[in-house]
Chain A
Amino acid sequence: MFGLQADWSHEVFERYFTIGDYAGGEARWCPGCGDHGILTTVQKVLRDAQIPPEQTVAVSGIGCSSRMPHYLGTYGFHGLHGRALPLACGIKSRRPDLDVWVATGDGDCFSIGTAHWIHAIRYNMDMTVMVFDNEVYGLTKAQTSPTSPLGFHTNTHPEGAILAPHNPMAVTLGITNASFVAQVVDWNPPLLLDTLKAAHAHKGTSFVRIIQRCPVYAKPLAEQLQNDPSRLLLLHHEHGIPVNQSAARLFPNHLEHDPSNLSAARDLVSDPSLLPIGLLYYNPDAPRYEDLSSQGADMTPETKLDALNAALDRFTI
């Protein structure tokens, strides 16, 4: 503990990481769950970026989505319900060298963790935040979530959900200092990969809402979108998510959208009949909180000691 040298340095080896290096325990999600595909995609992004597994931390809250760290071969922090973001921000605050991912869900992020979601976007720390939004509570077996559609039958609302759903994208785009806001579906693997790659490459909080299939408790919700993709609107732009032609064929509706145009993004998400897919907003220049919070992290004990003595001298009589 004490007395160990603080100016440690990494030994750098020539290492090449394969998908297997990012594999953790066997995933225990239901067959057909969208989470499997998200997990594989994250592993591919890490492999392609060749991030050492020990430099990566996957942080999560509680829920089906939040089991993800257990299935990765990186460091993981399976935290508390709703609290993944403060934990992730704390990790990043003095360790900007770490590659931080957050796996959260619609209940975790948009309900119990609402305060942290709003503020984490404002902090804009460099991390990839994935909201696995299946519009239902799965782990606790079919309760209404903040994004469940009006009338959706659950165990807490057997007669159907009585409130209209939250509009999380409208909220996110309303938060000061948002820097990367995207939406994607889990059932289009190439598009999911390109989206998470772009999110991971962005320096700042990349907020990605992933519309995700729950084949057990919300099967009809994703099926509707899969069978009739007319609600989905694929966004194109040279600064947006690159669109692979084969993936694009699955979307009947396309729109050219400049992701630097915040008010256009807000207009797009304000229409509840549409689900825009792609990069809604992007600002690479938004300030990052870790640039402030990590200042002084490299100060030597000797410099600190001098400053501490000066602080004590201020009160010396």
Chain B
Amino acid sequence: MNNRSMTKSTAPMELQEHIVEIVSDSGEGAQKAGQTFGALSARMGNGVWTVEIIPAEIKPPTRSPAGASGIRIRLGSHSISNMGDEADLVVAFNEQVLFSRIANGAYKEGTIVFLEDKWLSDSAPEIVNQYQQAVTEFRANGLIVHELPIEEACLKVTPNPRLGKNMFVLGMLCRIYSRDLQLAKTEISEIFKRKGEKVIGINHRLLDAGYDFARENLDFYYQIPPRSEQGQEAERFIVTNGNTALGLGVMASGMEMVAMYPITPATSASHYLADVFHQVGGFVHQAEDEIAAVGFAIGASYAGKTACTITSGPGLALKTEMLALAVMAEIPLVVCLVQRGGPSTGLPTKVEQGDLLASLFGEPGDAPKVVLAAATIEECLHYVILARRIAETFRTPVILLTDANLATGVQPYPRPEPSADWLAAPIDQSEWDETIPPYNWDEQTGLSPRPIPGMAKGQYVLTGLAHTDASKVAYDSSSNERGCRMRSRKLAALAATLKPPKINGDDQGDLLIVGWGSTLGAIEEAVDKVRAEGHKVSSLHLRFLAPMEPGLKSIFSRFKKVMTIEINYSDTPGDPYINDDTRRYAQLAWLLRAHTLVDVDCKSVVHGHPLQPGMIQRVLLQHLEQLEGEV
């Protein structure tokens, strides 16, 4: 195809949604361009979800499939809750990085690829050869490849196109998707404000050049109208990724202290806080290790201040003993756990929901604590506020689970309107009534008020040893039994305040899908599509994992089959040695089976990327076919 012969199109093609990817070697700025494109699209009223494509290594070789770095942006005329299936349009800075995306099933027949063509004139014959072979292969696979002289065009604006190509590509996308160029320039000015006017000017010129290039060289462009859902105009929206939402939640919840140790993929939440936390009087403590981080937070909380720690799976493992102490001594604490692939160092940058059972049962001995899971980026913000409230009311640690998908995904959501109540200190220092013991357990609920240092007449010694209500070390059986009972009772008391989960779809039918965490959007999209085809499938999504939301057994009884869909490991029936006796289930399925005595099935994967609605649809149809065959 000769690109130069394309004629300028006059009318845009209207689309309901599109999935765009920018893929490059790492360090070429694809993510920045994509994030800006996503934010710009959100500002223009589209539903947006972005997900980063992260190479496995810090400095992978250039032009290699392993080095694929970039971003996917799914945008639509309706709200978007997940990364979707195959991309519609891709911009690639070299041909090799596309191979790993193809291997991941990211593209389909008809996906449009804008490919940098400078490799065709490379001085190294093997590169020219690789390029030509790849283009032939892509076309044979049905990709519509447009070879474009992107770098050559950038050279007209800047002598260093490697650093500016991303903004040129952003300009191209602005033309292709009819974005407001002025709004894009405002975004760019904000991004580069610390680098000065000169840098902003070059990037603006690159943006313009990319825009003009696309207008002159492509014979099509699109229009994706803004969302038309109810109440859009009235509400203000913010757009952030999940880790920034977590950071905003930490501030909005009135936390004074985040004690952390760097760990992927949690750390960017602390990066954000390190920038702004002082503005609300908070402090980020980078501790010497994960144990010290949680110990520091526990110390601050014991002293009557609000503190949390942010970590990922390997950090949770190290914090285990401290968490048990917080359970035993009833110290309010919020632990934000941004899950990644495990076990051990596992897949540090990739998504997995593998820490559910460790969160519930990780500590030796009985250590009941509250476990919550955010299902959306918006919930990453609000659930920190909820977690603090529960931690203080129930005098307990609360683990808030998110994951790498939420952490790096970007989505617009309603701007919270914070209240001064959220920021109030947990406790004042009025004199303690010395007739009240430090664990004055209410026999019904297990709840008790707590004295903090500084309160006169409240002096007691907190201990991780078994203790009486007076916090006196006690080795007798009745004291130990009472302490265990009171700590456990708090979960039941919290459960009594919860409502049964909302069902997406009919409240009875053939198949019920149960999910938790970041898979909400993909599961509901798939369930809705399959229901629209006339199948009796519904879904529900749990936010509380400990205590479990009420009414599950009764809901489950109204479906022929119940199964979970999760991103963690489970055995596949039919594999060698795998049968009813040996099968290990996905983590939520284990819990639900124990909790409800219902024969809950599961489908789970550990492929390291977010669940896609198309894959879920196939699973649903396969199970529905079996169920519908049974009368």
- A residues at B contact (CB < 8 Å): 1-6, 8, 10-11, 24-25, 52-59, 69-70, 72-80, 83, 85-95, 97-98, 115-116, 118-119, 292-299, 301-305, 307-312, 315-317
The answer to whether B462 and A78 have CB atoms under 8 Å apart is: yes
The answer to whether B240 and A4 have CB atoms under 8 Å apart is: no
The answer to whether A93 and B283 have CB atoms under 8 Å apart is: yes
Q: B463 in the interface, Cβ–Cβ < 8 Å?
A: yes
The answer to whether B458 and A54 have CB atoms under 8 Å apart is: yes
17 CB < 8 A contacts A-B:
A4-B427, A54-B457, A75-B461, A77-B461, A80-B295, A83-B291, A86-B291, A86-B296, A87-B296, A90-B259, A90-B301, A119-B287, A301-B420, A304-B254, A312-B416, A316-B415, A317-B238
The answer to whether A1 and B462 have CB atoms under 8 Å apart is: no
Alpha-carbon gap, A298 to B305, bound state (A): 12
The answer to whether A296 and B325 have CB atoms under 8 Å apart is: no
**Minimum C-beta distance from A124 to chain B (A):** 14
* Total A-B Cβ pairs within 8 A: 224
Known: A299-B281, A311-B279. A90 touches B297 (CB 8 A): yes
**Minimum C-beta distance from B393 to chain A (A):** 6
Neighbour of A91 across the interface among B299, B421, B472, CB < 8 A: B299
The answer to whether A87 and B430 have CB atoms under 8 Å apart is: no
Neighbour of A315 across the interface among B238, B285, B428, CB < 8 A: B238
The list of the 9 closest CB pairs from A to B, nearest first, reads A90-B299, A296-B281, A86-B295, A76-B461, A299-B281, A90-B296, A6-B425, A119-B288, A86-B292
Known: A1-B392, A90-B259. A305 touches B420 (CB 8 A): yes
**Minimum C-beta distance from A299 to chain B (A):** 3
The answer to whether B325 and A79 have CB atoms under 8 Å apart is: yes
The answer to whether B425 and A98 have CB atoms under 8 Å apart is: no
The answer to whether B453 and A57 have CB atoms under 8 Å apart is: yes
Given contacts A78-B465, A80-B295, 9 further A-B contacts (CB under 8 A): A2-B422, A70-B461, A89-B295, A90-B300, A93-B305, A94-B256, A295-B281, A296-B278, A297-B256
Alpha-carbon gap, A108 to B463, bound state (A): 16
Neighbour of A55 across the interface among B244, B298, B453, CB < 8 A: B453
Alpha-carbon gap, A94 to B305, bound state (A): 7
Alpha-carbon gap, A11 to B428, bound state (A): 13
- Which of B236, B239, B304, B459 gathers most chain A CB within 10 Å? B459
The answer to whether A78 and B285 have CB atoms under 8 Å apart is: no
| Closest B residue to A294 using CB positions | B283
Q: B191 in the interface, Cβ–Cβ < 8 Å?
A: no
**Minimum C-beta distance from A95 to chain B (A):** 4
Q: Which residues B375-400 have CB closer than 8 A to chain A?
A: 389, 392-393
> Cβ of A76: which chain B residues have Cβ within 8 Å of it?
459-462
Interface size on B, residues (CB 8 A): 80
The answer to whether B454 and A97 have CB atoms under 8 Å apart is: yes
Known: A4-B427, A295-B281. A315 touches B461 (CB 8 A): no
The answer to whether A95 and B423 have CB atoms under 8 Å apart is: no
Q: B251 in the interface, Cβ–Cβ < 8 Å?
A: yes
**Minimum C-beta distance from B573 to chain A (A):** 43
Q: Which residues B503-558 have CB closer than 8 A to chain A?
A: none
Neighbour of B423 across the interface among A86, A87, A301, CB < 8 A: A301
The answer to whether A90 and B295 have CB atoms under 8 Å apart is: yes
> Cβ of A2: which chain B residues have Cβ within 8 Å of it?
389, 421-422, 424
| Closest A residue to B289 using CB positions | A115
Q: Which residues B427-464 have CB closer than 8 A to chain A?
A: 427-431, 453-464
Neighbour of B298 across the interface among A4, A24, A85, A87, CB < 8 A: A87
Q: Which residues B120-145 have CB closer than 8 A to chain A?
A: none
The answer to whether B295 and A83 have CB atoms under 8 Å apart is: yes
Alpha-carbon gap, A55 to B457, bound state (A): 11
Alpha-carbon gap, A70 to B282, bound state (A): 32
The answer to whether A90 and B307 have CB atoms under 8 Å apart is: yes
**Minimum C-beta distance from A113 to chain B (A):** 10
The answer to whether B285 and A93 have CB atoms under 8 Å apart is: yes
Q: B107 in the interface, Cβ–Cβ < 8 Å?
A: no
Alpha-carbon gap, A202 to B455, bound state (A): 25
Alpha-carbon gap, A281 to B627, bound state (A): 78
The answer to whether A53 and B292 have CB atoms under 8 Å apart is: no
> Cβ of A59: which chain B residues have Cβ within 8 Å of it?
299
Neighbour of A293 across the interface among B257, B280, B293, CB < 8 A: B257
- Which of A1, A303, A315 gathers most chain B CB within 10 Å? A315
Alpha-carbon gap, A6 to B389, bound state (A): 16
> Cβ of A8: which chain B residues have Cβ within 8 Å of it?
425, 428-430
> Cβ of B149: which chain A residues have Cβ within 8 Å of it?
none
Known: A1-B393, A311-B251. A91 touches B303 (CB 8 A): yes
Q: B237 in the interface, Cβ–Cβ < 8 Å?
A: yes
**Minimum C-beta distance from B160 to chain A (A):** 30
> Cβ of A4: which chain B residues have Cβ within 8 Å of it?
424-425, 427-428
The answer to whether B427 and A1 have CB atoms under 8 Å apart is: yes
- Which of A3, A53, A95 gathers most chain B CB within 10 Å? A95
Alpha-carbon gap, A78 to B467, bound state (A): 12
> Cβ of B393: which chain A residues have Cβ within 8 Å of it?
1
Neighbour of B459 across the interface among A1, A54, A295, A302, CB < 8 A: A54
Neighbour of A90 across the interface among B280, B298, B472, CB < 8 A: B298
| Closest B residue to A296 using CB positions | B281
- Which of A8, A87, A298 gathers most chain B CB within 10 Å? A87
Q: B159 in the interface, Cβ–Cβ < 8 Å?
A: no
Q: B214 in the interface, Cβ–Cβ < 8 Å?
A: no
Alpha-carbon gap, A308 to B282, bound state (A): 11
The answer to whether B299 and A93 have CB atoms under 8 Å apart is: yes
Q: B629 in the interface, Cβ–Cβ < 8 Å?
A: no
- Which of A2, A58, A116, A296 gathers most chain B CB within 10 Å? A2
The answer to whether B453 and A75 have CB atoms under 8 Å apart is: yes
The answer to whether B42 and A317 have CB atoms under 8 Å apart is: yes
Alpha-carbon gap, A55 to B456, bound state (A): 8
Q: Which residues B250-272 have CB closer than 8 A to chain A?
A: 251-252, 254, 256-257, 259
The answer to whether B239 and A317 have CB atoms under 8 Å apart is: yes
> Cβ of B240: which chain A residues have Cβ within 8 Å of it?
315
Q: B242 in the interface, Cβ–Cβ < 8 Å?
A: no
> Cβ of B420: which chain A residues have Cβ within 8 Å of it?
301-302, 305
> Cβ of A54: which chain B residues have Cβ within 8 Å of it?
453-459
Q: B54 in the interface, Cβ–Cβ < 8 Å?
A: no
Alpha-carbon gap, A88 to B533, bound state (A): 61
Alpha-carbon gap, A135 to B403, bound state (A): 46
